[in-house]
Amino acid sequence: MRLNKPTPLRPLIHYAELSKLVSRLKIPVHWHVKKLRRGDVPGPEGRLLKLRASVTALFKYERIEMDYYPADEARGYAERLISEAVRNGPQCPETMEMADWWLEEKQLVHKLFKVLVPRYQNYPTSYTNFYRAPFWYFSDGFQPQLNEEYPDKEINETIPAFRTVSYPKGLLELKGNPYPPIFPSKVTNPRSIQNVLLSSAKDFYKSKEGGSERLSNAESGRGIEFVPNEPKSDENLIESSK
């Protein structure tokens, strides 16, 4: 039993805002809203400003690597923005105002309506991908160009270890981006061990002796002895590898 977090509070308004029409998002939407720390502006406003920077960067570079939880939050906003744009188009003044606020660089507003909306017009899935990225190691070195706080420091300058924190990282990308894919395309290899074993099991059960064994097991009420991780016999392996 873990000491779980307390359940989030029910909102004060106990009904749905029916006047708003929104499209369903195809990403998991968490109820916990992450508080993000920001130096200059505190509170919910600062949180939105920080997310705005992330969303702008995502639209600009189409693949960004940042801290995991802020990236998770930013993903929702990026998806919502694209969903609004696809639904309403640039003619709607509210959507245009939204895009104008969320995208700090104005060329990205053009990109949203002219490039991304036609790209995502008929997408049945989510518009973004979100992966866990490797943690930052101390041995990765100090990279001041990614960190605005230390403009005078040199690359790989030694920094005291106690001031470093290692947060989980996330990788957020727009689907259909021009870069090479993060994971190689899934090619199912029929010669890999799990496929070899499964296909031989299938052949065994389809054959007469296998079928009779299954029948007797089913009648006695006993479930099938299905053990996909154990090798059946050497003969089958040899036969299938030929």
Nearest distance from C-beta of residue 167 to another protein, angstroms? 21
Nearest distance from C-beta of residue 238 to another protein, angstroms? 19
Q: Are 204 and 232 in contact (CB under 8 A)?
A: yes
Integer Cα distance of 122 and 71 in angstroms: 25
Nearest distance from C-beta of residue 51 to another protein, angstroms? 9
Distance of CA 162 to the CA centre of its chain: 31
Nearest distance from C-beta of residue 90 to another protein, angstroms? 8
Backbone angles phi, psi at 52, to 5 degrees: -60, -40
DSSP conformation letters of 137-183:
PGGG---GGG-TT-TTPPTT----GGG-----EEEEEETT-SSPPSS
CA nearest neighbour of 227 among 207, 197, 199: 197
Rank residues 7 and 139 by Cβ distance to another protein and give the closer one.
7
Rank residues 144 and 210 by Cβ distance to another protein and give the closer one.
210
Integer Cα distance of 210 and 202 in angstroms: 9
How many other C-beta atoms lie within 10 A of the C-beta of residue 151? 8
Rank residues 149 and 219 by Cβ distance to another protein and give the closer one.
219
Integer Cα distance of 242 and 238 in angstroms: 7
Rank residues 46 and 144 by Cβ distance to another protein and give the closer one.
46
Rank residues 6 and 180 by Cβ distance to another protein and give the closer one.
6
Nearest distance from C-beta of residue 184 to another protein, angstroms? 11
Nearest distance from C-beta of residue 24 to another protein, angstroms? 4
Q: How many helices (H) and strands (E) does the chain have?
A: 8, 3
Rank residues 39 and 160 by Cβ distance to another protein and give the closer one.
39
Integer Cα distance of 112 and 108 in angstroms: 6
